[in-house]
Amino acid sequence: MQIIETIAELKSIIKDFKNTGKSIGFVPTMGYLHEGHLSLIQKAKEQNDIVVISIFVNPTQFGKGEDFESYPKNLEKDALLAKEAGADILFHPSVLEMYPTGYKTFVDVESITNALCGKSRPGHFKGVTTVVTKLFNIVTPNRAYFGQKDAQQVAVIEQMVRDLNMDVEIIPCPIIREKDGLAMSSRNVYLSAEERKAALILSRSLFEAKEFIDRGEKNAEVIKTHILNVIRQEPLAQIDYVEIVNAAALENVTTLEGDILIALAVRFGKARLIDNIRLEVL
């Protein structure tokens, strides 16, 4: 596996691969890799000749007071894990390489970026769509892999790719969880032992909601209230939001029908955790 730090070098390598007819799978990440990231690399390896993973903690998607400075890093370990999972190229640019002095251009998807995480993290998705557009232009992937863990991110990227006629297929991949149900996240490292235990309430509340729905409950308010009540039993949990929306437009629903996303964001100490389930309700 090659580790590349400059855009020029990566573009030149990609050009050579493309000239020999190789397909490119791309996995954008912020590093501190866990099995969630590795599942995306493995899927990319199954479907493409060459797999590129990027590790870039993107400053434009962090708001003031968020964890840009303290975001966990371990490039050496990440490189080993990425290689083992099947990556051929690890792209690790500096902030100046991606945003040189005088940088002025941003990509902004409207409307669906105002819901859910967009409400509590204004500007976050503008940073995401900008960096993903830049990375797509650099890597020119045939397919790009994103985790359903960040369900709103998938919806926003799919909208952007449609709207801007980008020549890339977006492949959403399932949420990978710890054995006890906690959705894997680089930010789980922020949790104290007590908070780690308390954070289990998130997946538990979502799984309980799914059981309700499987038994025929379709009233969004009833399900949302149940989830809120379950999470409120945990004193360390500070709820940011719990929302039930349709999965494509991310608009609130009153009755569960079709492709539904139940998404939540909850703080435990300095960790803001997100989780969700997506279901097809008949």
| Contact status, residue 183 vs residue 275, Cβ threshold 8 Å | yes
Q: Among 25, 36, 93, 127, which residue sits at the site for ligand AMP (rule: CB under 6 A)? A: 36
For residue 142, what are the contacts with CB-CB under 8 A and spacing of at least 6? 23, 24, 25, 48, 168, 169
Q: Is 117 in the site for ligand AMP (CB under 6 A)?
A: no
Q: How many CA atoms lie within 13 A of 22 on its CB side?
A: 19
- Is 37 noted as a catalytic residue in this protein? yes
Q: Is 30 in the site for ligand AMP (CB under 6 A)?
A: yes
Least distance in angstroms from the C-beta of 134 to ligand AMP: 15
Q: Is 186 in the site for ligand AMP (CB under 6 A)?
A: yes
Angle of CA points 156, 161, 164, to nearest 5°: 115
Kindly tell me which of 156 and 220 has the beta carbon lying closer to ligand AMP.
Answer: 156
Q: What is the dihedral of CA 44, 159, 280, 231, to 10 degrees?
A: 90
| Contact status, residue 186 vs residue 34, Cβ threshold 8 Å | yes
Q: Is 121 in the site for ligand AMP (CB under 6 A)?
A: no
Q: Which residue is catalytic, options 34, 37, 92, 226?
A: 37
Q: Among 185, 203, 205, 276, which residue sits at the site for ligand AMP (rule: CB under 6 A)? A: 185
Least distance in angstroms from the C-beta of 145 to ligand AMP: 7
Pairing of strands 258-268, 237-246: antiparallel
Kindly tell me which of 173 and 260 has the beta carbon lying closer to ligand AMP.
Answer: 173
Q: Among 89, 138, 147, 265, which residue sits at the site for ligand AMP (rule: CB under 6 A)? A: 147
Q: Which residues pair with 51 in a beta bridge?
A: 25
Kindly tell me which of 10 and 182 has the beta carbon lying closer to ligand AMP.
Answer: 182
Residue 19 three-state SS: helix
Radius of gyration for the alpha carbons in the chain, expressed in angstroms and rounded: 19
Least distance in angstroms from the C-beta of 156 to ligand AMP: 12
Q: Is 130 in the site for ligand AMP (CB under 6 A)?
A: no
The identity of residue 163, as a single letter, is D
Q: Is 133 in the site for ligand AMP (CB under 6 A)?
A: no
Kindly tell me which of 151 and 256 has the beta carbon lying closer to ligand AMP.
Answer: 151
Q: Among 53, 98, 135, 176, which residue sits at the site for ligand AMP (rule: CB under 6 A)? A: 176
Q: Which residues pair with 2 in a beta bridge?
A: 89
Q: Is 71 in the site for ligand AMP (CB under 6 A)?
A: no
Q: Among 184, 198, 202, 266, which residue sits at the site for ligand AMP (rule: CB under 6 A)? A: 184
For residue 164, what are the contacts with CB-CB under 8 A and spacing of at least 6? 107, 133
Taking the CB of residue 23, how many other CB atoms lie within 10 A of it?
A: 15
Residue 205 three-state SS: helix
Total number of residues binding ligand AMP (CB under 6 A)? 17
Chain residues in the site for ligand AMP (CB under 6 A): 29-30, 36-37, 39-40, 146-147, 149-150, 173, 175-176, 183-186
Residues noted as catalytic: 37
